[in-house]
Structure 1
Amino acid sequence: MTAIVLVVFFVFALLGMPLAFALGLASLAGLFAGGIELSVLPQRMMHAVDSFPLMAIPLFMLAGELMVRAGIMQRLVDFSNAIVGRLHGGLAHVAIVAGMMLAAVSGAAVASASALGSTLVPAMRKSYDDGYSSAVVASAANLGAILPPSNAMIVYALMAGSTVSVGGLFMAGVIPGLLLTLGFMVVASYLSWRKGFKLTGDPFEIRNALGETVRALPVLAMPIVVVGGIVGGVFTPTEGAGIAVAYAVIVGFLVTRELKLSDMVPALFNAAVGAAMVGALIAFAAGVTFIFTIDMIPASMAQYLQELTENPMVFLVLVMTMLIIVGMFIESNAAYIMLVPLFAPVAASFGIDPLLFGFLFVFNLVIGMMTPPVGVVLFVMSGITRVSMGELIRNVWPYVAVQYAVLVLCVIFPGVVTWLPRALGY
């Protein structure tokens, strides 16, 4: 059954069919081949999406939509410009720092790419070439799935069951996310200097920096309230997402005063569409996961890998190498749903820290969002900036290299990932 499922899925996916439908057809084919009642599929679908933690995804998406429409981007840009705008590649640094802060609002790389691309690229084009500008913004947007709150980590935790907590995964992404931010800024400075771009932004002034910090405080406080509450056990990730929505509404109407009632309908619609896509993938993939379980694929894979190697590090390297390839060809949510139920139990049998394995799994597939041919963030940026995929790929590879360097660092030194969550009791 598993072989039929995989063949049907990849055939329809390569033909351009939406991944949710390809997963659904693959599930039906597998159930039919195994002589199992087809009524099992809707039952498994309903069971998969009937989840309280899963509600956090549409709520975080809605919070991100509302914060963008509430005018937070300009405040983030002004704050970032006051801090790092005068460095080599000043506007690039502004984009990276704004992306880091927006990551703590949106929780998704695609949402960050849309907000940053439409806001910052027009200004960056006045000082930099199109390829450089688009690559910087794409890289900054990719922080959205690493820094908390991350929708990708919520999906991973849901598929991994009770072996790992959402809050723990959130905290696992903090130090690597900060390292990525610094790495992106170093690369942006070097490339700006090498290309001979002129300095942008005003000279650094403490008074100006303090003033912009005060203006940005309502925005900067949101991740502290939401993520801090989740980590502190005050509320669950889903409740935290609901609080984020309420916070965004209050900031938009009472602080920035740029959010209007007419913005609510498009914000709700965009969040609903994004959440529906994720929900459909999870629902249809439930059938695939059921077939994998019936065929005892996780147990067989664990036995095979344990016969192949008894070294946890070798196993980890093998899985990371496979995920690099998977990330190039399969959309990340589909990969989480299909592969996490397979590899998470095997990693546990090797004695690998569930937080470490979960973060590395997510991080690897997040990098895949910037690698062709199925680099979702690249497609979003190309659509917004009208920069060709070829030019974008030529300019983005140094930032992809930084992400892989941090991934290798996390594999070699697991404490980079696990120290903070363990210090906080996860």
Structure 2
Amino acid sequence: MMVLVSIGIFFVLALMGMPLAFALGFSALGAFAFGDIDMAVMPQSMMHAVDSFPLMAIPLFMLAGEFMVGGRIMQRVVDFANAVVGRVQGGLAHVTILSGLGLASVTGAAVAGASALGTTMMPSMRKHYDNGFGSAVVASASNLGPIIPPSAAMIVYALMAGSSVSVGGLFMAGVVPGILLTVGMMALCTWLSYKRGYEPTGEPFCWRNVLVQCRRAGAILLMPVLVIGGIVGGVFTATEGAAIAVVYSLLVGMFVTRKLKVDAIPGCMFRAAVTSAVVGALIAFAKPVTFVFTLDLLPLHLSQFVQGFTSDPMVFMALVMGMLLIVGMFLESNAAYIMLAPLFAPIAVAYGIDPLYFGFLFVFNLVVGMMTPPVGVLLFVMCGISRISIGELLKSVWPFIALQYAVLALCWIFPDIVTALPRALGY
């Protein structure tokens, strides 16, 4: 009964427009009061939730991304991508996607990527494409952030799912799907550009120019290799890798590009802290709710119900994927990881489903939800940057949403796309 009270309060407050962290907090308070639970448990559980070494990776990766933007590091990545693919049909869109891929390999967050890419690429995109198409490309490229390692979403999922899945394993599970998604988006941009008559925008391809831009961007392109390679190789943890990314991006911004000034550092730290605080608050306020779920034996009852409904793991996966598709349309993704991962991850293990496979599909499904209305956060970010209506953006973004769901379906049907690389690396 406490679970019903908690869920009821949460959805009422969320639908009224209350911030999700506060909705979670009040839903926990209501359940505690209804169940006559000592209120002292609530702050203790909240503190325990955020007192986590792996969780420190999120603000550190956010800060590394802020240093990249402040140090104009992205511009060198853009120049290199432009030298490679700028002259092909839809070249500027390809440059945006490859730049998003580079940014994703450092920040691991979609919203931060959309802000950085939007401010960097949209002025040029407006000159060659219509506003809706340019905004859709930026939003799609930004959505690589939670899929390409290091991914903040995967860190949150691994934290909430428990010991059944490792952060490093989830990181590697995202590599091949991330590459498929990148290639698919570039192919889609080529087709749409040809269909709409967009002219090539970059300079003619020249090996000398490519080598020059590669040399200028070399220190930047080395950063994800160093960070991700160190994490996968077991040299350091994801949190330590995030700290190295911060130091590396700071040094590159100050001494390589020389655009990051000392007086800009506090602003970068403040913006990273604000973004990270949102995730931290959600995790903290969600912990008492998951405590209520555990106290009411909801995971056990849900597992027994689902296993009594079907014994087929694929049917279970279909039910979960369908539910997440709907949840992603209405609930902020971090809140969904925090609320649902502790419930469904143990059931997936009981069905004998590979935890890496299930965890990646869980994350990927909710990542696509960041682009689906009515609560697609990336859509609202791009509407703010591009100053267009949500309706105008939706006319251009739906092919990219369909593409992401197609890649999700491929990963679901062919599990080796997700699991082959991490298993080969010993995860």
TM-score in terms of structure 2 length: 0.99
Match of 2:426 in 1: 425
String of CA shifts for 1:172-207, please: whole Å, max 9, x gaps: 000000000011111111111111111110111111
Does the residue aligned with 1:181 lie in a helix, a strand or coil? helix
Q: Which amino acid aligns with 2:345?
A: A
Q: Which amino acid aligns with 2:350?
A: S
Structure 1 outlier segments of 4+, above 4 Å: none
String of CA shifts for 1:312-336, please: whole Å, max 9, x gaps: 1111111011000000000000000
Shift of 1:38: 1.4
Match of 2:230 in 1: 229
Asked if 1:384 corresponds to 2:381, the answer is no
Match of 1:24 in 2: 25
- 1:192-341 equivalences under 5 Å are 192-341=193-342
Asked if 1:180 corresponds to 2:181, the answer is yes
Shift of 1:210: 1.3
Shift of 1:37: 1.1
Q: How far, CA to CA, are the matches of 1:299 and 1:214 in structure 2?
A: 56
Q: How far, CA to CA, are the matches of 2:104 and 2:160 in structure 1?
A: 22
Asked if 1:165 corresponds to 2:183, the answer is no
Q: How far, CA to CA, are the matches of 2:92 and 2:193 in structure 1?
A: 10
Q: How far, CA to CA, are the matches of 2:225 and 2:78 in structure 1?
A: 19
Q: How far, CA to CA, are the matches of 1:387 and 1:91 in structure 2?
A: 20
Q: Which amino acid aligns with 1:120?
A: M
Asked if 1:74 corresponds to 2:75, the answer is yes
**Structure 2: unaligned runs, 5 residues or longer:** none
Q: How far, CA to CA, are the matches of 2:163 and 2:348 in structure 1?
A: 14
Q: Which amino acid aligns with 1:211?
A: V
Match of 2:360 in 1: 359
Does the residue aligned with 1:125 lie in a helix, a strand or coil? helix
Does the residue aligned with 2:230 lie in a helix, a strand or coil? helix
Q: Which amino acid aligns with 1:67?
A: M
Match of 2:48 in 1: 47
Q: How far, CA to CA, are the matches of 1:47 and 1:74 in structure 2?
A: 40
Q: How far, CA to CA, are the matches of 1:188 and 1:34 in structure 2?
A: 54
Q: How far, CA to CA, are the matches of 2:273 and 2:212 in structure 1?
A: 37
Match of 1:403 in 2: 404
Q: How far, CA to CA, are the matches of 1:38 and 1:394 in structure 2?
A: 49
Shift of 1:107: 0.8
String of CA shifts for 1:30-70, please: whole Å, max 9, x gaps: 11111111111101101101111111110010011001111
Q: How far, CA to CA, are the matches of 1:415 and 1:261 in structure 2?
A: 47
Asked if 1:103 corresponds to 2:94, the answer is no
Match of 2:190 in 1: 189
Q: Which amino acid aligns with 1:256?
A: T
TM-score in terms of structure 1 length: 0.99
Q: How far, CA to CA, are the matches of 1:258 and 1:407 in structure 2?
A: 39
Match of 1:154 in 2: 155
Q: Which amino acid aligns with 2:187?
A: V
Q: How far, CA to CA, are the matches of 1:149 and 1:213 in structure 2?
A: 23
Aligned length, in residue pairs = 426
Identity, % of aligned pairs?
A: 65
Q: How far, CA to CA, are the matches of 1:217 and 1:307 in structure 2?
A: 56
Q: Which amino acid aligns with 2:323?
A: M
Match of 1:57 in 2: 58
Q: Which amino acid aligns with 1:350?
A: Y
Q: How far, CA to CA, are the matches of 2:230 and 2:200 in structure 1?
A: 40
Q: How far, CA to CA, are the matches of 1:104 and 1:218 in structure 2?
A: 14
Match of 1:122 in 2: 123
Match of 1:113 in 2: 114
Which stretch of the first structure deviates more once superposed, 323-332 or 67-76? 67-76
Does the residue aligned with 1:38 lie in a helix, a strand or coil? coil
